[in-house]
Structure 1
Amino acid sequence: MNWYVVYTKPKWEKRVADQLMQLGVNCYCPVIKTIKQYSDRKKKVEVPLFTNYIFVQLDEKDRNLVFLSRGAVRYLYWLGKHAIVKDKEIDTIKEWLAKDADISITQYNVGETIKVNSGPFLNHDAVIKEVTNSHYVLILESLGCVLKMKHKPEEN
């Protein structure tokens, strides 16, 4: 069975995954813990790693089951076909989240091609699209996605 990427309504990722699991569909919605600032307090919350996306594992013939959830919008396509994620990539994301690993890139320039050396996209080639004081924007052409990764500038 293949892993497919499902695009969801905004802020429906966990809800769609729960609904599909109740229907017997194998789902994965990777989440990270972050601190959210409210007007009167800070709270640690779990938010999806990929906003508006979840992963589902099903047979080709069962792909329409995801639309039984009101929050599922469509499948993600890559080069005119349903985007398929390898089991190894799902396992890598799970391992990375279990370790709470930080991704860091230093001294790179826009347009350079790099090989990601940690995290869920280990050993994938990426093109650096943008560099700021707080983050890098990387294009992973092989996966058809754009990543925005935070970094801490090096202190001299």
Structure 2
Amino acid sequence: MNSTRKWYAVYTKPRWEKKVYRILQEKGVESYCPLNKVRRKWSDRYKIVEEPLFKSYVFVKCSESEKTPVRMVNGVVNFVYWLGKPATIGEKEIETIRKFLDEYEDVEARPLNLEPNSVVYIENGAFMDKEATVVRVLRKKVEVIIESIGYSLTAYIDKSRVSLVKKPKR
């Protein structure tokens, strides 16, 4: 049974991340709400508080048959979709987030904004481990130029296969 269970992201009502996480835990659903330790100033003191790292997101590990009960949890809006299906998150990514938050405080999570002239790192495929320059961003793919092999090759690569190295200079 456990082998058919995958990690998914669910979208929650605003500021419901911790409540949804607690309800999922009470229902026995394996879930994860990454919490960021942030130093906040009150009028008379500073205090370390835990805030969700990803606003309006909680991760759940469930099978196909468990998706409907997860959707019905109070505060869950829906699963996060990618390419028309609920987006799956790798076990490795969940572990990386856990380790990162164990080591660092006051972490900032920002969406990956690909734009022309950004430099990206190709994570898998024929040009794995190469850097490329973004020519243009399409809906689900990014057009890049790969120059590191002595030629200028243009390729259309799925956005999920690249990570941002540096943004273009303004």
Same fold (TM over 0.5): yes
- Determine the C-alpha separation between the residues in 2 that align with 1:71 and 1:127: 40
- 1:92 alignment counterpart: 96
- Aligned mate of 2:160, from 138, 142, 148: 142
The one of 23, 27, 50 equivalent to 2:27 is 23
User: Is residue 71–residue 79 contact of structure 2 (8 Å, CA) maintained in 1?
Assistant: no
| Higher CA-based Rg | 2
Using a 3 Å threshold, how does the CA distance of structure 1 residues 143 and 57 change in structure 2: closer, same or farther?
farther
Give the superposition deviation at 1:73.
0.5
For 2:74 and 2:36, the matched residues in 1 are separated by 24
Instruction: Tell me whether 29-38 or 56-65 shows the greater mean CA deviation.
Output: 29-38
1:34 counterpart = 2:52: no
Name the structure 1 match of 2:85.
Answer: 81
Q: Is the 8 A contact 1:13 1:51 kept in 2?
A: yes
Identity %: 39
For residues 70-112 of structure 1, give each alpha carbon's deviation from its aligned partner in whole angstroms, at most 9, with x where no partner exists: 1111110011111000111111111111122779xxxxx9622
Which residues in structure 2 correspond to 1:91-130 (within 5 Å)? 91-100=95-104, 111-114=118-121
Structure 1: which 5+ runs fail to align?
Answer: 104-108, 117-122, 129-139, 147-156
RMSD: 3.5
Give deviations 1:1-57, integer Å, cap 9, x for gaps.
100100001111011010011011000001010012334443210001111001000
User: Structure 2 regions of 5+ residues with no counterpart?
Assistant: 109-115, 124-128, 135-157, 165-170
Q: Which amino acid aligns with 1:112?
A: V
Letter in 1 for 2:160: S
Secondary structure of 2:118's counterpart equals: coil
Tell me the matched-pair count: 123
TM-score normalised according to structure 2 size:
0.61
Is contact 1:13-1:54 (8 Å) kept?
yes
Distance in 2 between residues matched to 1:143 and 1:14, nearest whole Å? 31
Distance 2:61 2:26 in 1: 14
After superposition, the Cα gap between the structure-2 partners of 1:27 and 1:113, relative to the gap in structure 1 and judged at 3 Å, is same
TM-score, reference length from structure 1 = 0.66
